[in-house]
Chains A and B, each alone.
Chain A
Amino acid sequence: MNDRLKDLLQKGPVAINIGVLDFAESLKNQDSEVIHLNWTPPAGGDPELIALLDQLL
């Protein structure tokens, strides 16, 4: 077993949570290490606005 795999099994994973903050909070509440990235889909995921933005930005 290599050292990195041993580390993972002994220390547990570090989660990176993208988007919904609640998921990060629930991991934190279970004492798991988590890094939260504040992200939302461009234009709230609206396909028409995304198509418009593609032409303007």
Chain B
Amino acid sequence: MATEDLKQKIETANAETVKQINAGDPVLVDIAPAGEVIPGLQDRMILHSGPPVDWQNMCGAQRGAMIGAVLFENWAANADEAQKLLEAGKVRFEPNHHHQAVGPMAGTISPSMPVWIVENRAFKNRAFCRQVEGRQQFGDFSDSALDGLRQWRNIWAPSLRKGLLQMGGLELKPIIAKALMMGDELHNRPVAASSLFANAMVCSMIEAGVGREDLLSTLYYITKHELLFLALSMAAGKASVDPAAGIEYSTVVTAMARNGTEFGIRVSGLGEEWFTAQSPRVNGLYFPGYTEKDAGADMGDSAITETAGWGGMVLAGATGILGFVGGTPEEAMTYSKEMRQITVAMSTNYRMPVFGFQGAPLGIDIRKVVQTGITPIIDTAIAHKNPGYSIIGAGLVRAPMDCFKKALIRFGQKYGAK
């Protein structure tokens, strides 16, 4: 194919890719046990964040979270038994992204864990995300850490589900758009979105007849959990981006995900193939008692928020988060300007007041990343390098350039570049 024809096909495909993402209409439709709703999630299977990984190569925090998930499912009586079960290959691991799902940090999703279900009403596809919490998903498998999962399964998820079904689903696009005007970036700072979500749920849970005790427990949970909406922004991002996957000739990134060992990306025109590199270190701030020597490498599916145009892409509008992840307002402004250099378009739904209400940078283009040397910036939490710990910090990280170089070379091979 002539070079100009190839370039034109890429431009047309990329325009179509961001058009589909912009058309996304994510609606929270249900909360249900993962094993009942996630396609292909079988018994004795646990889904995880990032590209595929086996027990041998799994990082400490993800191993700890796996042990926690096995105990949560009652597949073992204690942590030693759980570890032996996992080492023996008695539990199957698959990436969330292979099952229309995403999970923060270790991202473990096991069959009886209730998941948020978001439907993209424009394309009728669904995406799933697990509960966000600061302990088990970071590798803490203590009984008190698992108690948070049990309360989610037994009280909070069923109560929220009743309210949600009472109202017939909750549109997420207006909440996300408003939250961006209120200083959120919807990855590590979904504070405003979490509050807007709690406001939306209260009356419907009462109308649905949730009992007083469960109602109070759930209200305490949703009104005090500042990161609650991250699960919804992740599911909304996944539901919005998935229809844009598999567009021939498109160079737009459709997934960025990390398992703490490898960082992987997927590209629309390259189907389901992962392009991976070693997971980078996070440059961050630590909770008292921890330093960078304790930290594991970058982990989680939460970079789906950056893929959808939020998180690090809109950091300039969320300077309140810098006290948590580090950096200055000037640096945040520079990051968001840089992200405009490596994206195809601006969001037509989600706008940034700090840039005169222009749209958020949307559609990371592997060509522009390789050309400019600018890689996507992600704000993220930090897990311990060993199993058994809760969250230890938060910070900023750059996606590794090698993922984009590998994808570009593969793209050239597939589409006949010389």
What is A's interface to B at a CB cutoff of 8 Å?
40, 42-44, 49, 52-57
5 nearest CB pairs, A to B? A57-B367, A55-B417, A40-B373, A55-B3, A52-B412
A42 to B367, CA, bound (A): 11
Do B411 and A56 touch (CB < 8 A)?
yes
Do B373 and A44 touch (CB < 8 A)?
yes
Which of B6, B409, B417 has the most CB atoms of chain A within a 10 A radius of its CB?
B417
A43 to B409, CA, bound (A): 12
- Tell me how far the C-beta of B302 lies from the nearest C-beta in chain A, rounded to whole angstroms: 28
- Number of A-B pairs, beta carbon distance below 8 Å: 42
Whose C-beta in chain A lies nearest to the C-beta of B401? A44
Tell me if A's interface is mostly helix, strand, loop or mixed.
helix
Give the residues in chain A near B10, CB-CB below 8 Å: 56-57
Residues A49 and B3 in contact in the complex (CB < 8 Å), given A55-B417, A56-B411 = no
Q: List 19 additional A-B contacts (Cβ < 8 Å) besides A49-B409, A56-B7.
A: A40-B372, A40-B373, A43-B370, A43-B371, A49-B370, A49-B405, A49-B408, A52-B408, A52-B409, A52-B412, A53-B370, A53-B371, A55-B6, A56-B6, A56-B10, A56-B408, A56-B411, A57-B367, A57-B368
- Interface residues on chain B, number (Cβ under 8 Å): 19
Interface string of B365-407 (1 = CB under 8 A from A): 0011011110000000000000000000000000001000100
- Cβ-neighbour of B417 out of A40, A42, A56 (below 8 A): A56
Do A55 and B418 touch (CB < 8 A)?
yes
A22 to B411, CA, bound (A): 36
What is B's interface to A at a CB cutoff of 8 Å?
3, 6-7, 10, 251, 367-368, 370-373, 401, 405, 408-409, 411-412, 417-418
- Cβ-neighbour of A56 out of B251, B401, B405 (below 8 A): B251
A52 to B408, CA, bound (A): 8
- Cβ-neighbour of A42 out of B3, B371, B418 (below 8 A): B371
A40 to B409, CA, bound (A): 21
Give the residues in chain A near B408, CB-CB below 8 Å: 49, 52-53, 56
Give the residues in chain A near B409, CB-CB below 8 Å: 49, 52
- Tell me how far the C-beta of A18 lies from the nearest C-beta in chain B, rounded to whole angstroms: 14
Give the residues in chain B near A49, CB-CB below 8 Å: 370, 405, 408-409
A57 to B412, CA, bound (A): 11
Q: Would you mind naming 15 contact pairs between A and B with Cβ atoms under 8 Å apart?
A: A42-B372, A43-B370, A49-B370, A49-B408, A49-B409, A52-B412, A52-B417, A53-B408, A55-B412, A55-B417, A56-B6, A56-B10, A56-B251, A57-B10, A57-B368
Whose C-beta in chain A lies nearest to the C-beta of B334? A38
Do A53 and B373 touch (CB < 8 A)?
no
Give the residues in chain A near B373, CB-CB below 8 Å: 40, 43-44
A43 to B371, CA, bound (A): 4
Give the residues in chain B near A55, CB-CB below 8 Å: 3, 6-7, 412, 417-418
Give the residues in chain A near B371, CB-CB below 8 Å: 42-43, 53, 57
- Tell me how far the C-beta of B5 lies from the nearest C-beta in chain A, rounded to whole angstroms: 11
Give the residues in chain B near A53, CB-CB below 8 Å: 367, 370-371, 408
A29 to B375, CA, bound (A): 30
Which of A49, A54, A55 has the most CB atoms of chain B within a 10 A radius of its CB?
A55
A49 to B409, CA, bound (A): 8
A29 to B418, CA, bound (A): 48
- Tell me how far the C-beta of B410 lies from the nearest C-beta in chain A, rounded to whole angstroms: 11
Give the residues in chain B near A54, CB-CB below 8 Å: 3
Give the residues in chain B near A52, CB-CB below 8 Å: 408-409, 412, 417
Which of B7, B371, B401, B409 has the most CB atoms of chain A within a 10 A radius of its CB?
B371
Whose C-beta in chain A lies nearest to the C-beta of B367? A57
Give the residues in chain B near A40, CB-CB below 8 Å: 372-373
Give the residues in chain A near B418, CB-CB below 8 Å: 55
- Tell me how far the C-beta of A49 lies from the nearest C-beta in chain B, rounded to whole angstroms: 6
Give the residues in chain B near A44, CB-CB below 8 Å: 373, 401
A9 to B88, CA, bound (A): 78
A44 to B408, CA, bound (A): 14
A54 to B6, CA, bound (A): 11
